[in-house]
């Protein structure tokens, strides 16, 4: 086997091959290469020295390889490790667009060998073959492929999740369960034992793990598994937008759904009623929670997994992307000793994340903080979190009433859903507690009307309501590929962009798309918001039972920046696009 410290990865190797597939790099020649990799990871900030030392000890104890231990412990992500491999070895990384539509040299290369070796041939001519490799330090596989094809192998570094997806597409491994079912014409009426047998097959387990692992690696927020008559559709939600990632054979529907239900400790024989569950998994070295929901549909159960990756969530206002002046005003409201502060918006607008951020800011030994949630999404250190359980009588209202007897300083109610909860929250605020909660309204002013509709008296509302934050999430432009442009004068005039830009030139950006953002042009999301703080003029409108438009006009006159204007400012700052602001804000108005 060639010395990887001296021979480039694309050099032909003629030494006899005796090592097993994906064998660790061993011996004196391996140490300098892995040492260089460790130095590169530290210098680029992809892993700290303490993490390297921890992985080194684990590698020595388990006779493993340093880079693989780093991945297994989650100290370095697969994407960063792939980038490090490429920089260290001076080779290219594989773009998703390079994977072929059909298998390359299928007569010469065995599909099982390629799956076991975790490699995908990309293209071939008469003399060379490009090879995507999950492990670029594996020298046996290029040697074996060179011997089998008679072509010089040019090795490239692949991102594991993209490579596994290509392997599954190009070299599918049918489960025995799906093969057995091909001849069946009767409806699938398997009993619990049959479903367990389907779900316990190795190909099904591996396929479900690939679906989950790929979603986590690409930072998806949800996995949607949807059965149809002719296919099983898999979609991921990235930055609030669903993307179809693959379709599978309809024969796999019962096996895949049963596998996930077993993981979530759900009743696999119950397919007529909705079910909810949780899964806790170590994926790519990270502890990740999944919230699982099933509902019956025409061709089977539709299943959604909500991904709650604690390692990727940071509860701070900078990460949220809220405007600094708005954050300062919000912090001032949260520092008040009593009253109600609401966060409003549609489902998926980041309301809970904003409240968690505020709670993290308030968390101190001198304060008792209690939350009532349904469900508890993230565990917050030092904060008492309580789960609503309606089936045993633990509703928001009953829990809130009980918590008041525990003398808390700050109470977060996950959502004010009914008049009873609203009335108790008002009483809590009147008796010296700061209450944080959410409402499903499209604007800050509409929250006042919603509370009125729930039966909260006007005099109580004006006495306790300190502020209402209405927010949306817009997609953040990918910094690597966003393209500036000067908008047409008609758009500048219609949206009054000149006044918003001030002395700066009016420049907007297109979402172009590149490998770093999965060709979407966007990478992550940021919050835009409006903050209404009731003043004397608004209180008079409340007593006059004015509608939300009159209240909104008064708030704007008092200095509130409307939601759409906040979005336009973010677009002018190069953080998002006009199109995404319009999609997320105007669509709900």
In this structure, what DSSP letter does residue 93 have?
B
DSSP string, 472-485: EEEEEEPTTT-EEE
Tokens at residue 335, please? 């520092």
In this prediction, residues 523-547 reach a mean pLDDT of 94
Sheet containing 410-413, strands listed edge to edge, beginning at the edge strand earlier in sequence: 384-387, 369-373, 410-413, 434-439, 339-344, 465-477, 522-532
In this prediction, residues 539-551 reach a mean pLDDT of 94
- Range scoring the smallest mean pLDDT among 119-123, 203-207, 277-281, 565-569: 203-207
CA 442 vs. chain centroid, Å, equals 24
Average pLDDT, the chain: 84
- Range scoring the smallest mean pLDDT among 58-67, 248-257, 458-467: 58-67
CA distance 244 to 229: 17
Judge whether residue 13 has pLDDT over 80: no
What pLDDT shows up at residue 148?
A: 86
Query: If DSSP codes are grouped into helix, strand and coil, which group holds residue 169?
Result: helix
What pLDDT shows up at residue 570?
A: 94
Query: If DSSP codes are grouped into helix, strand and coil, which group holds residue 565?
Result: helix
- The fraction of the chain above a pLDDT of 70, given in percent, is 88
**What residues pair up with 131 in beta bridges, in sequence order?**
121, 155
Which helix (H) or strand (E) segment holds residue 452: the answer is helix 444-453
Distances (CA, A) of 407 to 331, 370, 411, 433: 23, 10, 10, 9
CA distance 361 to 160: 38
Which helix (H) or strand (E) segment holds residue 152: the answer is strand 152-157
Tokens at residue 402, please? 């009980």
pLDDT confidence bin for 198, thresholds 50/70/90: low
In this structure, what DSSP letter does residue 394 have?
B
Judge whether residue 389 has pLDDT over 90: no
Per-residue pLDDT of 393-441, as tens digits, reads 888 889 998 998 898 999 999 899 899 999 999 999 999 999 999 999 9
Judge whether residue 82 has pLDDT over 80: yes
pLDDT confidence bin for 260, thresholds 50/70/90: very high
DSSP string, 338-372: SEEEEEE-STTSSHHHHHHHHHHHH--TT--EEEE
CA distance 358 to 207: 39
What pLDDT shows up at residue 7?
A: 37
What pLDDT shows up at residue 506?
A: 92
What pLDDT shows up at residue 248?
A: 87
Q: Beta-carbon neighbour count of residue 259 at 10 Å? A: 24
Q: In 177-274, which ranges are E strands?
A: 222-227, 232-238, 241-248
Tokens at residue 504, please? 């700066």
Tokens at residue 91, please? 């080779």
In this prediction, residues 169-178 reach a mean pLDDT of 62
What pLDDT shows up at residue 255?
A: 86
Please check whether residue 408 is in contact with residue 383, taking contact to mean a CB–CB distance below 8 angstroms: no
What pLDDT shows up at residue 170?
A: 87
pLDDT confidence bin for 174, thresholds 50/70/90: low
Candidate ranges 19-23, 71-75, 264-268; pick with highest mean pLDDT: 264-268
Please check whether residue 281 is in contact with residue 260, taking contact to mean a CB–CB distance below 8 angstroms: no
Which helix (H) or strand (E) segment holds residue 162: the answer is helix 160-170
Distances (CA, A) of 30 to 3, 42, 139: 8, 19, 12
Q: CB-based contacts of 217: which residues, under 8 Å, 6+ apart?
A: 77, 78, 79, 159, 160, 161, 284
CA distance 92 to 86: 6
- Range scoring the smallest mean pLDDT among 53-62, 82-91, 254-263, 504-513: 53-62
In this prediction, residues 502-521 reach a mean pLDDT of 88
- Classify residue 209 by burial, with Cβ atoms within 10 Å: 0-12, 13-18, 19+: middle
Q: Name the residue with higher pLDDT: 114 or 174.
A: 114
What pLDDT shows up at residue 203?
A: 77
Q: CB-based contacts of 448: which residues, under 8 Å, 6+ apart?
A: 461, 465, 468, 534, 542, 548, 551
Candidate ranges 115-124, 325-334, 378-387; pick with highest mean pLDDT: 325-334
- The fraction of the chain above a pLDDT of 90, given in percent, is 40
- Range scoring the smallest mean pLDDT among 220-234, 272-286, 350-364: 272-286
What pLDDT shows up at residue 561?
A: 94
pLDDT confidence bin for 311, thresholds 50/70/90: low
Which helix (H) or strand (E) segment holds residue 50: the answer is helix 49-62
Instruction: For the chain, report the end-to-end CA distance as a whole number of angstroms.
Output: 65
What pLDDT shows up at residue 22?
A: 37
Q: Name the residue with higher pLDDT: 498 or 7.
A: 498
CA 520 vs. chain centroid, Å, equals 15
Q: Name the residue with higher pLDDT: 311 or 420.
A: 420
């Amino acid at each position: 086997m060639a010395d990887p410290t001296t021979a480039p990865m694309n050099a032909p190797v003629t030494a006899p091959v005796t090592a097993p597939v994906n064998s660790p790099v061993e011996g004196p020649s391996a140490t300098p290469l892995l040492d260089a990799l460790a130095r590169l990871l530290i210098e680029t900030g992809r892993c700290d020295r303490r993490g390297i030392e921890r992985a080194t000890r684990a590698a020595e104890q388990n006779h493993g390889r340093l880079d693989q231990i780093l991945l297994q412990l989650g100290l370095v992500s697969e994407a960063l490790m792939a980038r490090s491999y490429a920089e260290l070895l001076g080779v290219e990384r594989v773009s998703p667009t390079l994977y072929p539509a059909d298998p390359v040299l299928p007569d010469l290369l065995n599909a099982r060998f390629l799956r076991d070796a975790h490699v995908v041939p990309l293209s071939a001519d008469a003399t060379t073959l490009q090879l995507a490799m999950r492990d670029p330090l594996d020298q046996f596989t290029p040697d074996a492929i060179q011997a089998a094809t008679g072509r010089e192998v040019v090795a490239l570094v692949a991102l594991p999740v993209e490579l596994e997806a290509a392997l599954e597409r190009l070299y599918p491994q049918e489960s025995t369960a799906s093969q057995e079912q091909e001849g069946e014409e009767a409806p699938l009426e398997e009993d619990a034992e049959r479903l367990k047998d389907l779900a316990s097959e190795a190909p099904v387990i591996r396929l479900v793990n690939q679906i989950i692992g790929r979603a986590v690696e690409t930072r998806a927020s949800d996995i949607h598994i949807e059965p149809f008559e002719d296919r099983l559709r898999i979609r991921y939600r990235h930055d609030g937008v669903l993307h179809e990632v693959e379709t599978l054979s309809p024969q796999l529907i019962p096996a895949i759904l049963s596998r996930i239900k077993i993981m979530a400790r759900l009743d696999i024989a119950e397919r007529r009623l909705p079910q909810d569950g949780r899964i806790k998994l170590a994926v790519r070295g990270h502890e990740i929670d999944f919230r699982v929901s099933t509902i019956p549909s025409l061709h089977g159960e539709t299943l959604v997994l909500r991904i709650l990756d604690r390692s990727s969530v940071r509860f701070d206002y900078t990460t949220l992307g809220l405007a600094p002046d708005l954050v300062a005003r919000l912090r001032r409201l949260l520092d008040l000793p009593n009253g109600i502060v609401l966060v409003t918006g549609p489902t998926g607008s980041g309301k809970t994340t904003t409240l968690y951020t505020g709670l993290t800011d308030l968390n101190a030994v001198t304060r008792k903080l209690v939350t009532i949630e349904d469900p508890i999404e993230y565990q917050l250190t030092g904060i008492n979190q309580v789960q609503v359980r309606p089936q045993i009588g633990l509703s928001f209202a009953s829990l809130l009433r009980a918590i008041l007897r525990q003398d808390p300083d700050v109470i977060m109610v996950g959502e004010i859903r009914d008049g009873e909860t609203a009335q108790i929250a008002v009483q809590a605020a009147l008796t010296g507690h700061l209450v944080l909660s959410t409402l499903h309204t499209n604007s800050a002013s509409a929250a006042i009307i919603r509370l009125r509709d729930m039966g909260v008296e006007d005099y109580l509302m004006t006495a306790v309501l300190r502020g209402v934050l209405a927010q949306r999430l817009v997609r953040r432009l990918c910094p690597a590929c966003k393209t500036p442009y000067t908008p047409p004068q008609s758009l500048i005039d219609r949206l009054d962009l000149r006044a918003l830009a001030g002395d700066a030139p009016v420049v907007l950006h297109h979402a172009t798309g590149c490998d770093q953002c999965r060709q979407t042009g966007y990478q992550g999301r940021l919050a835009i918001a409006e903050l209404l703080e009731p003043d004397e003029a608004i209180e008079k409108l409340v007593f006059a039972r004015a509608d939300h438009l009159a209240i909104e006009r008064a708030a704007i006159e008092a200095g509130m920046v409307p939601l759409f204007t906040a979005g336009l400012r973010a677009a002018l700052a190069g953080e998002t696009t006009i199109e995404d602001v319009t999609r997320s804000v105007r669509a709900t108005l």
